[in-house]
Amino acid sequence: MQQRTTSAKEPVTLTQQLAQFVERTCWDDIPTAVRHEAKRSLVNYFAVAFAGCADPSIEQAVNVYRRFRAGYDARLIGRAERTDVLNAAALNAMTANVHDFDDTHLPTIIHPTAPVAAPLFALGESATIGTATSAKMSGQALLLAFVLGVEIECRIGNAASPSHYQRGWHITSTCGVFGAAAAAAKVLNLDANRTVHAFGHASAQAGGLVETLGTMAKSVSVGNAARNGMLSALLAGEGLRGPAQPIEGERGFLRVCADKPDFNALTAGLGSDWALQANTYKPYPCGVVLNPVIEACLELARDKHWSLADIERVELLGHPLLRERTDRLGIRSGREAQVSAQHSVAVVLSTGRAGLAEFSDESAADPDVRAFAGRVAFVDDSRFPVEAARVTVLLRSGESVSRTVSAARGSLAVPLSDADLDTKLKELAAYGAPHVDAQRLLDTLWTLDTSADAALPMHIACAESA
């Protein structure tokens, strides 16, 4: 499906259909379950941002960005600094992504919330003091724009998958910029024509490479998606024009960045099938495909009567994506540890834990953990879903033990509950931003649709609330 025609003279392109959907959809069109999932996504967003807000790499990024700030309208999660809305969008998205603890949309493996939520909260703060719009943005308006932004980025991701990622594009960054543009266009009240232009500007700024995984460059591109998507909508709002078909055009995003784009995925079920209903939240700070491996290793570690020295080999049986994304030997940092199956297996089997400390620089440098990496082997089986894996430990004694996880905790089949997400936020706030009143923030997020001021969560989540 490449276009729908309403008359012989007026073809409606796929890009226009998406833009019209963004313009016309109102809060009453959003199902109750999707509204609730939007709140869950935002709870998780603030949780993982607290985990990353004091990370040394974020400190370095803040030091660079502050040199070029154009104002002090917006806050940074967990920190005392204020900056302009563009820089806040970038830095808050980077902060939420830095530990690979953010949410995951299945089947695209997009981390959808950070690129979309960060610019919305920045615009919400700007609206509070009248610099972006004439009145405060309501919590309901933010949630609606968030739902729509996630919908657009994930539909484009579905259309580009699976070849887009296989070509080496970092899909959260490349598709996130469209989600940010759509969300910003909604709260800026752009009509469909200007939203098309916003998508055009976003298409020219879509970037991010899989080669950057395991480095801070990956999170920089997520920050760019948030910042540049918002900038795209702001430019379109001023009348700057873009191409008519930036998404599906002959040299548009999908044809350039995917082998065989599924154009039907852009609009099939639009308004009835919602991307947020396929969103998941991680119990462990690592690449999502590692979740079943970690869970199996945790079970093995609980019952073990052996040490790492007793192991001859560990076999990981799982979907080919497991090997493609996590076969990483010789890692040198906690950032690389987050996407290394070898590190994950070694550290979880040896410690019985899988928290932030187990994916730190110190853990990555552990000589016993590093020495174990060569004993991990992958066995591809496309019959396994991404959220499943079997881990078999082969001991030098000839004994073998294995655990199979058919659906990891945090998957769609075994989702984290609201209470789990509350606990995640409280624990990560205590870890990275102990000055924050976590319960007050939770109360605000769960009732955000009733708030007249979308900026309230940011007021609570910054260091000034200490």
Architecture per CATH, 3-281+427-465: Orthogonal Bundle (1.10)
Taking each helix axis from N to C end, the angle separating 32-52 and 418-432, rounded to the nearest 10 degrees, works out to 20
With vertex at residue 115, the alpha carbon angle to CA 110 and CA 121, rounded to the nearest 5 degrees, is 145
Average of pLDDT values for 233-249?
Answer: 98
Average of pLDDT values for 124-141?
Answer: 74
Tokens of 100: 């690979």
* Bond prior to 320 in cis (omega within 30° of 0): no
- pLDDT one-digit tens code per residue, 366-381: 999 999 989 999 999 9
- pLDDT one-digit tens code per residue, 33-87: 999 999 999 999 999 999 999 999 999 999 999 999 999 999 999 999 999 999 9
Q: Are 150 and 35 in contact (CB under 8 A)?
A: no
Q: Does residue 339 carry a pLDDT above 50?
A: yes
Q: Does residue 132 carry a pLDDT above 50?
A: no
Q: Are 119 and 183 in contact (CB under 8 A)?
A: yes
Average of pLDDT values for 128-149?
Answer: 80
Average of pLDDT values for 221-244?
Answer: 98
Instruction: Name the residue with tokens 């900026």.
Output: 455
Q: Are 335 and 97 in contact (CB under 8 A)?
A: no
Domain extents for the chain?
Answer: 3-281+427-465, 288-405
User: What are the φ/ψ torsions at residue 352 (nearest 5 degrees)?
Assistant: 75, 20
Taking each helix axis from N to C end, the angle separating 139-160 and 113-128, rounded to the nearest 10 degrees, works out to 150
Specify the DSSP element, H or E, that contains 197. Answer: helix 192-203
User: Which CATH number fits the domain 288-405, given the four candidates 1.10.10.60, 3.40.50.1820, 3.30.1330.120, 3.90.25.10?
Assistant: 3.30.1330.120
- pLDDT one-digit tens code per residue, 304-336: 999 999 999 999 999 998 999 899 999 999 999
Q: How confident is the model at residue 127 (pLDDT cuts 50, 70, 90)?
A: confident
